[in-house]
Every structure is written in C-alpha cells, then in structure tokens.
Chains A and B, each alone.
Chain A
C-alpha cells in the first residue's frame, strides 16, 4: 500500500500520522494484506438465508438514563450541561 493511500485512509479514520508511522504502516500493510489474500484462493460457498448467523433482537424500549451527570464528569471540557468543543472548519 503506497504512502498516498495510507494518508487518504488516515484522513478518513481521523488519525494524524507522523512520516515515520506512514512508512512503517506502508511496509506492514503489504505484508498483512499479502498474507490475508489467501482468502481469495478459497472457494467460498453461498448459504441459504436460514443457515446464516443472525443476531436476534427483541423489541427494544426506551429506559431512563440516570447517570448523565457522571458521564459529563468525564468530559475534557464542558459548560453547564453541555460538551464544549473547538469550532468547526470553515
């Protein structure tokens, strides 16, 4: 994976990487994806819908949340009962 692709992916993932990290990851990713491309050599069958794993969900309901103040206690910056964040990009 070339350095420009890494930079593009890092931007999507909201990670600021150093030049050293970019070169290290570029080298690693080639090795990892080469190893993982074994998967493309395999014959993978399609399964009938009922055989697929499914996460069963019961009806969901809304519950009272009682610890919102404690949650705000973990905020790096807050004002009144709101998170305080830096300004958006122009």
Chain B
C-alpha cells in the first residue's frame, strides 16, 4: 500500500473511532504522505519512511497544539519541535496526530484528561492504562503504526501492558527530553510504543544520542536494530519474587509461563530479591510530587495558557491555575507541602534517601544477573471509574514500574501471548544495556508466536 493510502485509511479510522485516543490531527498528514512517498519511490527515503506515528500530547510538534490533555494548555501551539520529533521527521517518519493522556501525565489509567478518558480497545468498559493512554490505544487499535510516549513512573509500560503492545523506557539520559513538558525532570524519559520489538529498536536507534539541548544525554547515537536477532543462550535472567507479591493469579501464571519460554530459548533463570519494592510507591510519589509541584509553577496564566483575571497579579495566577484538574492540584499541593521548610525533613529528605536505597538494591540485584524479570502490572486493565475516586489505590498500581525510574534503569513491557485481557511481562537491565532487553524481548516474541 502506498503511504498516502495508508494515511487516508488511518485518518478515516481515527474519525470513526470511539476510543478517544487522539486530541489533535496533523492537518498536513496527507501532504506529508505524498512528499515521503515520492522519496520512497525515488529510493531516497529515510529509515522511518512508511511509519505512521502518533505522539503523546506532552511532546512538542511545531505548529500543532501541545495540550498535555489540560484546559490550561487547550490552545497552546508548539513554537518548535522536540528533539525526538525533529529526528523522526528527518528520517521520514510521518506524524498523524497528537494523542490523549492523563492530564500533565498525572494518572495510571488514562482517565484524568480534560478531553475525557481514553478507552481500552480490548474492552471499552475498561481503562487503557496511563499516562500514555492514547499512545498504547492508538497502536493497539490500529490507528497508528507506532507511537512515542513518556515514562516518569511507568507511563509507557502500564498502558503497553493493559493494551497488549510493546513499550520501552530507556535508561535516563539516553533520549533527549528537549520539547517534552516535564513532569519530574530527574525521572522522565521518552520512549517507543510499538506492536513489535524490532520497530521499537529502530525508533530508539533514531531518537537516542547526545543533544546540545539536553545535557543529561551523554552518549553518542547507538544502533540497536542489529541486536534484536541476538541469541539469548546463557543470558542470566533474575526472577524477582517480590514483583509477584499481590499480583492477580492470571498475571503470575502467565508471566511464569513467559519466563519458561525464555528458559527454553537458552536463558539461565535464577532467583533474586529486591525487598525494598515494598516502599517503591511512597518513595516514587514523594520524589515526583516535589519535582512536579516545582515544574508546574510555570503555568501561571501570564506567559501562555489559560488566563482568568483576578484582583491583582498574584490573584490572576491563582485564578488561572483553577484550569488545572483535581489530580494535578492534589499533586501540586502535596509536593508543596512535603518540601516546605517545616515538613521537608520528615518527607522529602526521607524520600531522597529511600530513592538511593532502592537504586542500590536494583543495581545489586543486577550484579547477579543480566536482566530482572516480573510482571509489568499487578493486575489487568481495570474498569473505568473503578479507582479514580481513590488516589491511594491508583498510586499503588505503579508498584512494579516505578523502581526503574527511581534507579534510572531501562525497562520494557512485553505483551504476553494470552487470550482475554492483555498481560505485560517486564524486563529491567543495567543502565545503558537496552540491547539485552531488546534481545530477550525479541526471543520471547519469536518463540511465543
């Protein structure tokens, strides 16, 4: 199929779709398709020619809206491209639109968007997971080939698990965050959401590598595509028993079956322990709240975004911030509270120390093996509305994904071959060892077909 036909078919499907995956459509998509198709015909196209991307709506695409799924930024137009977007376009990837998410990435369900919840394509009465809800939904439902999401505490891997697609969070500092609206700057990474491992390896190969606009990215650009076919004979995979505590029975059974498949592919399966998983959720949330409340100060209604005039400048700022949703306000308040002089010793300082403890444990566990394995989520996609009224319940959903962010490690969710609601199996590796994850994920993918 020619690219323009493919794009037209996607556009038609998006307009018919009831999943609420998209916030904005690229009005130049058809022109872009023709331009790229000409390059393909002339044999001069880049590595991503033919791929149709959806982009999470917290990543800047020049000239398009960048809403973060918030009333605050409902009409904000990106003045420039994020580095990842620039690199995708330079390799002839086509951007079809911007996808829905939890407001400012605050959520594990995809329900907190100002534009309404995204629905799970496998069961529209259930959530797709968050916060990169539209990324996973658009790929799973055939509304785009691939997507870019962002992951601060599991926001790529959770929806990948709930929607049955592959989601990859790279090592902190692998992919430039320039043009990503920050949630918690020491935890955020952009990564691919795809139907298969080789597409993720290709996208990662294009978007990684140093960028003068983000000095946390230190390495030169790597090519990950050649590692996808690498054998995993002798690769030592550590099963983290704590990752199975409190999981639904079906999750445990299917993930253990998945581990058996990797064993049959030649992996050496060992047991490892990460006991501090028990405190991963409070550690993550307290660190994130502090950084998030600081990051959100820029939304003041003065320079851009929603403005509601008050009696003076301070009141105008506070009135304008009424455009923020409930969960966003909750996190700003908690982040402000735990960093106030009177309370920071009790809360934030403890959380920083706990973060180092978790990171130390994860790295110690990875000294005993090449990869850590377990489920991505403790349960399958839950019903819409089931957890939204109980913030503690919603926060606890992140227990298995946050340790990767707190430790800066790469991690991926691999869709298991199951009937019924999708289940994700999660792999972690040492910093910079994404190739080990890609090779093991591809080995599972090949063997489970």
A and B associate: yes
Residues of A within 8 A of B (CB): 1, 5-6, 9-10, 12-17, 21, 25, 28-29, 31-32, 35-40, 42, 44-47, 51-53, 55-58, 60-61, 63, 67, 70-71, 73-77, 83, 85-90
Write the nearest CB–CB distance from A51 to chain B, whole angstroms: 7
Residues from chain B with Cβ under 8 Å of A6 in the complex: 333
Q: Which of B80, B218, B346, B407 contacts A67 (CB 8 A)?
A: B80
Q: Residues of B contacting A28 with CB < 8 Å?
A: 330, 391
Binds A, one of B147-155, B196-204, B281-289, B366-374: B281-289
A83 vs B283: C-alpha distance in the bound complex, in angstroms?
39
Flag if B276 contacts A42 (CB, 8 Å): yes
Known: A28-B391, A51-B356, A88-B313. 9 other contacts (CB 8 A): A13-B293, A14-B318, A16-B322, A39-B354, A44-B353, A44-B356, A85-B316, A86-B309, A86-B312
Q: Are B215 and A89 in contact (CB under 8 A)?
A: no
How many chain B residues touch A (CB < 8 A): the figure is 67
Contacting residues, chain A, for B407 (C-beta < 8 A): 53
The stretch of B38-46, B235-243, B244-252, B297-305 in contact with A is B297-305
Q: In the bound complex, do residue A87 and residue B77 qualify as a contact, i.e. CB atoms below 8 Å apart?
A: no
Main secondary structure of the interface of A (DSSP, over half): loop
The residue in chain B whose Cβ has the minimal distance to the Cβ of A74 is B304
**Distance in angstroms between the alpha carbons of A22 and B346 in the assembled complex:** 23
Give the complex CA separation of A28 and B340 in angstroms: 19
Residues on B with beta carbons closer than 8 Å to the beta carbon of A39:
279, 282-283, 286, 350-351, 354
What are the interface flags for B350-361 relative to A under an 8 Å C-beta threshold, 1 for contact and 0 otherwise?
Answer: 110111110110
C-alpha gap A69/B322 in the complex (Å): 27
Q: B79 touching A58 by the CB < 8 A rule?
A: no
Q: Confirm or deny: B384 has a beta carbon within 8 angstroms of a beta carbon on chain A.
A: no
Chain A residues whose C-beta falls within 8 Å of the C-beta of B329 in the assembled complex: 15, 17, 21, 25
With a cutoff of 8 Å between Cβ atoms, the chain B residues found around residue A25 in the complex are: 329-330, 333
- Can you report 22 A-B residue pairs in the complex whose CB atoms are below 8 A from each other? A13-B293, A14-B317, A15-B333, A16-B318, A17-B329, A25-B333, A28-B391, A31-B392, A32-B334, A38-B282, A51-B356, A53-B355, A56-B173, A56-B215, A56-B216, A74-B76, A74-B77, A77-B307, A83-B302, A83-B303, A86-B310, A89-B314
- B216 touches which of A44, A55, A61, A73 (Cβ 8 Å): A55
A51 neighbours in B (Cβ, 8 Å):
356, 360
Query: Nearest-CB distance from B367 to chain A (Å)?
Result: 13
Q: Does B10 contact A (CB under 8 A)?
A: no
* A24: min CB distance to chain B, Å: 8
Q: B39 to chain A: closest CB distance in Å?
A: 26
Residue of A nearest to B319 (CB): A16
When chains A and B are docked, how far (Å) is the Cα of A53 from the Cα of B359? 8
Interface residues of B in 310-364 (CB under 8 A from A): 310, 312-319, 321-322, 324, 326, 329-330, 332-334, 336-337, 340, 346-347, 350-351, 353-357, 359-360
Measured in the bound complex, the distance between the Cα atoms of B395 and A52 in whole Å is 26
What are the interface flags for B258-288 relative to A under an 8 Å C-beta threshold, 1 for contact and 0 otherwise? 0000000000000000001011011101100
Known: A9-B336, A36-B285, A56-B173. A75 touches B303 (CB 8 A): yes
CA–CA, A55 to B357, complex, Å?
Answer: 17
- From known contacts A46-B353, A75-B303, A86-B312, infer whether A15 and B318 are also in contact, taking CB-CB under 8 Å: yes
> Which 3 residue pairs across A and B have the least CB separation, nearest first?
A70-B79, A76-B307, A74-B304
B residues near A71, Cβ cutoff 8 Å: 79, 304
A89 and B313 contacting across the interface, CB-CB below 8 Å: yes
Query: Contact: B312 with A85, CB < 8 Å?
Result: no
Residues of A within 8 A of B213 (CB): 63
Q: Which of B216, B279, B281, B332 contacts A15 (CB 8 A)?
A: B332
The yes or no answer to B134 lying at the interface (CB within 8 A) is no
Across the interface, which residues of A come within 8 angstroms of B281, CB to CB?
35
The verdict on A76 contacting B301 (CB below 8 Å), with A44-B357, A88-B313 known, is yes
Whether A44 pairs with B350 at a CB distance below 8 angstroms is yes
Assuming the A-B contacts A12-B336, A16-B322, are A73 and B354 also in contact, with contact meaning beta carbons closer than 8 angstroms in the complex?
A: no
Bound state CA distance, A46 and B390, in angstroms? 34
- Report whether B285 and A14 are in contact in the complex, using a CB–CB cutoff of 8 Å: no
| Contact assessment for A60 and B392 in the assembled complex, using a CB-CB cutoff below 8 Å | no
Asked if B408 is an interface residue, CB under 8 A from chain A, the answer is: yes
Is there a chain A Cβ closer than 8 Å to B254's Cβ?
Answer: no
* Chain B residue with the shortest CB-CB distance to A44: B353
What A residues does B306 contact at CB under 8 A? 76
Q: Determine whether the beta carbon of B318 is less than 8 Å from that of A45.
A: no
Residues of A within 8 A of B315 (CB): 16
The answer, among B310, B360, B392, for a CB contact under 8 Å with A35, is B392
- Per the bound structure, the CA–CA distance linking A59 and B389 in Å amounts to 46
- Cβ of B353 to closest chain A Cβ, rounded Å: 5
- Nearest residue (CB) in B for A47 is B356
**Cβ-defined contact, A36 with B282, below 8 A:** yes
Set A5, A12, A57, A73: member contacting B79, Cβ < 8 A: A73
Bound-state CA distance A54–B360 (Å) is 13
Separation of A86 and B351 alpha carbons in the complex (Å): 38
